[in-house]
Chains A and B, each alone.
Chain A
Amino acid sequence: MIINGQYNIGHICTRQQCDLGRGDKVAMRWISQHMELHDYTFRDLDLQSNRFANALQGLGFQPGDACFTLLPKMPEQFFSFLGILKLQVVAGTLFSNFGEEALLDRLGDSRARGIITKKSFLKKLTRIRGQLPNLTTVILVDIDQHQADGVLSYPQLVREASDQFSAAPTSAQTPSVLHYTSGSTGKPKGVQHLHQSVLSQNRTAREVLQLTKDEIYWCTADQGWVTGTSYGIIGPWSLGVTQVHFGGGYNAEHWFNILEQEKVTVWYSAPTALRMLLREEPELFTGRDLSLLKHIFSVGEPLNPEVIHWARRTLGKEIYDTWFQTETGAIMISNRPGLEVRPGSMGQPAPGIEAAIIADDGSPADDGEQGNLCVRPGWPSMFSTYLNNDEVYRQKFRGGYYYSGDTAFKDADGYFWFLGRSDDVINTAGHLVSPFEVESALLEIPEIAESGVIAAPDELLFEKVVAYISLHAQAEYTPELELRIRLYISNKVSTIATPQEIHVIDKIPKNKSGKIMRRVLKARYLGTDAGDTSTMEED
Chain B
Amino acid sequence: MDTKTKLQGIFRQVFDDDSIVIERATTADDIDGWDSLSHMNLIVAVEMGFSIRFNVKDVRALKDVGDLIDIIDKKLAG
**Interface residues in chain A, defined as those with a beta carbon under 8 Å from any beta carbon in chain B:** 33-34, 72, 96-97, 118-121, 123-124, 247-250, 479-480, 482-483, 486-487, 490-491, 495-496, 498, 500
Q: Quick check: is B38 within 8 A (CB to CB) of the other chain?
A: yes
Pairwise interchain contact B16-A72, C-beta atoms closer than 8 A: no
Pairwise interchain contact A483-B16, C-beta atoms closer than 8 A: no
Distance between B57 CB and nearest chain A CB, rounded to angstroms: 14
Mark contacts of B41-55 with chain A using CB atoms, 8 A cut-off: 1 yes-contact digit, 0 otherwise.
100110010000000
Choose among A479, A482, A491 the residue that contacts B16 (Cβ–Cβ < 8 A): A491
Pairwise interchain contact B17-A123, C-beta atoms closer than 8 A: yes
A498 CA / B29 CA spacing, docked (Å): 20
A62 CA / B43 CA spacing, docked (Å): 46
Pairwise interchain contact A33-B29, C-beta atoms closer than 8 A: yes
Pairwise interchain contact B32-A118, C-beta atoms closer than 8 A: yes
A490 CA / B40 CA spacing, docked (Å): 11
- A489 to B, closest residue via Cβ: B41
Choose among B18, B38, B40, B48 the residue that contacts A479 (Cβ–Cβ < 8 A): B48
Contacts A120-B15, A124-B16, A486-B44 known; 11 new A-B pairs at CB < 8 A: A96-B33, A97-B35, A119-B19, A249-B28, A249-B29, A483-B48, A487-B14, A487-B16, A490-B14, A490-B37, A491-B16
Q: Kindly list chain A residues whose C-beta atoms are within 8 Å of the C-beta of B58.
A: none
Pairwise interchain contact A97-B33, C-beta atoms closer than 8 A: yes
- B18 to A, closest residue via Cβ: A123
Pairwise interchain contact A120-B41, C-beta atoms closer than 8 A: no
Q: Quick check: is B70 within 8 A (CB to CB) of the other chain?
A: no
Q: Kindly list chain B residues whose C-beta atoms are within 8 Å of the C-beta of A496.
A: 37
A445 CA / B17 CA spacing, docked (Å): 21
Q: Would you list 15 pairs from A and B whose C-beta atoms are within 8 A, ordered by A residue?
A: A33-B29, A119-B19, A120-B20, A120-B33, A121-B32, A124-B16, A249-B29, A486-B40, A486-B41, A490-B14, A490-B16, A490-B38, A495-B35, A495-B41, A498-B37
Pairwise interchain contact B44-A482, C-beta atoms closer than 8 A: yes
Distance between A126 CB and nearest chain B CB, rounded to angstroms: 12
Q: Kindly list chain B residues whose C-beta atoms are within 8 Å of the C-beta of A249.
A: 28-29, 34-36
Pairwise interchain contact B33-A495, C-beta atoms closer than 8 A: yes
Pairwise interchain contact B17-A120, C-beta atoms closer than 8 A: yes
Pairwise interchain contact B13-A487, C-beta atoms closer than 8 A: yes
Which of B29, B40, B45 is packed against the most chain A CB atoms within 10 Å?
B29
Pairwise interchain contact B19-A33, C-beta atoms closer than 8 A: no
Q: Kindly list chain A residues whose C-beta atoms are within 8 Å of the C-beta of B30.
A: 33
- A254 to B, closest residue via Cβ: B29
A500 CA / B15 CA spacing, docked (Å): 17
Pairwise interchain contact A487-B41, C-beta atoms closer than 8 A: yes
Q: Kindly list chain B residues whose C-beta atoms are within 8 Å of the C-beta of A500.
A: 40
Distance between B74 CB and nearest chain A CB, rounded to angstroms: 22
- B37 to A, closest residue via Cβ: A495
A480 CA / B48 CA spacing, docked (Å): 8
Pairwise interchain contact A120-B29, C-beta atoms closer than 8 A: no
A119 CA / B29 CA spacing, docked (Å): 16
Choose among A34, A72, A97, A123 the residue that contacts B38 (Cβ–Cβ < 8 A): A97
- A33 to B, closest residue via Cβ: B29
Choose among A34, A96, A121 the residue that contacts B29 (Cβ–Cβ < 8 A): A34
Which of A33, A72, A118, A486 is packed against the most chain B CB atoms within 10 Å?
A486
Pairwise interchain contact B41-A250, C-beta atoms closer than 8 A: no
- B33 to A, closest residue via Cβ: A97
Distance between A453 CB and nearest chain B CB, rounded to angstroms: 15
A496 CA / B35 CA spacing, docked (Å): 9
The 4 closest A-B CB pairs, nearest first, are A33-B29, A495-B37, A120-B32, A495-B38
Pairwise interchain contact A490-B32, C-beta atoms closer than 8 A: no
A500 CA / B40 CA spacing, docked (Å): 9
Choose among B17, B20, B31, B41 the residue that contacts A490 (Cβ–Cβ < 8 A): B41
Q: Kindly list chain A residues whose C-beta atoms are within 8 Å of the C-beta of B44.
A: 479, 482-483, 486
A33 CA / B34 CA spacing, docked (Å): 13
Q: Kindly list chain A residues whose C-beta atoms are within 8 Å of the C-beta of B45.
A: 483, 487
Distance between B51 CB and nearest chain A CB, rounded to angstroms: 10
Q: Kindly list chain A residues whose C-beta atoms are within 8 Å of the C-beta of B41.
A: 483, 486-487, 490, 495, 498
Q: Kindly list chain B residues whose C-beta atoms are within 8 Å of the C-beta of A498.
A: 37-38, 40-41
